[in-house]
Amino acid sequence: MTASHGNPSGDDANYRISDAEREAAMASLGRAFSEGRLTIDEYDDRVQQVACAQTGTELLPLFDDLPASRTAGLPGQAPAKLYAGEEIDAAYQHGKKTRLGLLGLTTVGAAAGTIVWSAMIASPLPAVLLLLIPTVWLMLYVMKVGPDSWHVPSPQSVERQRLRELRSSEKLRAAERKAAEQERAAKQKILEEERLAELRLERKAQTEQLTSRAIGFMNKAFDPETMGLKKPGDKRGKKSGGNPYGGE
């Protein structure tokens, strides 16, 4: 295989390939698939191998059974860009909106001009302005008057449409990331508040326990029985007769 498929050949086959060379190889596979040389399964399998390839030697076997192109992937030539059908259709719809806008403006202008002109002069001549509507329609949709981008999407218009979609998707991803970060921050705040509440309850329980122990210790420390003191009115230790000599 030669370098015509966007792959290094000869001594260059041992070098690591670039993204441009991968794109050129995928473009060559896409042309082979569109020509019926590859089935959809073969095309998908080879495209995946191209995406995973690191050196030119890994690309060479993928093109052994395909004819070399004389134009694709030549040195110094940018790889052909491939566009999805959705991207081409979106660019076509953009040009279609422009034509519909011009036709709509013509319709509104012709109708308004006919009404105003008819009010100024009593003549059917103003109705001629209504002929502008089919005339503009024929010019836009049959004669294809106007820039080519209005009728056939150009690579530039498709590329602009792709960039617009990329910007929109990037903004959407940024908004999703921001929302996810805010959600994580809110959950983290809730967890911190719950943890703080648990710590407060633990401290309160510990404080109550320490207070209870301190009160019990104080009561025990100042208990007369514990201190060896007699309570007021306690007559234990005296004789019943009151005789100091033990007589009755």
Residue 222 is given by DSSP the state T
3-state secondary structure of 16: strand
CA dist 121 → 107, 127, 130 (Å): 21, 12, 16
Q: How many C-beta atoms lie closer than 10 Å to residue 183's C-beta?
A: 10
pLDDT at site 8:
46
pLDDT at site 77:
40
Phi-psi region of 123 (alpha: psi -120 to 50; beta: other; left: phi over 0): beta
pLDDT at site 157:
62
Q: How many C-beta atoms lie closer than 10 Å to residue 192's C-beta?
A: 10
Query: Computed over its alpha carbons, how large is the radius of gyration of the chain?
Result: 47
pTM of the model: 0.31
Q: Quick one: angle between helices 40-52 and 19-34, nearest 10?
A: 170
pLDDT at site 44:
85
Phi-psi region of 69 (alpha: psi -120 to 50; beta: other; left: phi over 0): beta
Residue with tokens 């080519």: 148
Residues 232 and 72: their CA atoms lie apart, in Å, by 118
CA dist 44 → 41, 48, 53, 62 (Å): 5, 6, 14, 12
Residues 60 and 221: their CA atoms lie apart, in Å, by 96
Structure tokens at 7: 């792959």
Q: Quick one: which of 93, 89, 97, 80 has its CA closest to 30?
A: 80
pLDDT at site 176:
84
- The structural domains of the chain, with segments of one domain joined by +, span 3-63, 85-153
Give, in degrees to the nearest 5, the angle at Cα 51 between 46 and 56: 85
Per-residue pLDDT tens, the chain, 248 aa: give them.
444 444 444 445 578 888 888 888 888 888 888 788 888 888 888 888 988 888 888 888 888 888 865 334 433 344 445 555 555 556 666 667 788 888 888 899 888 888 888 888 877 777 788 888 888 888 887 887 877 667 665 566 666 666 677 677 777 787 888 888 888 888 898 989 999 999 999 988 888 888 888 887 777 777 666 665 555 555 554 444 455 444 44
pLDDT at site 143:
80
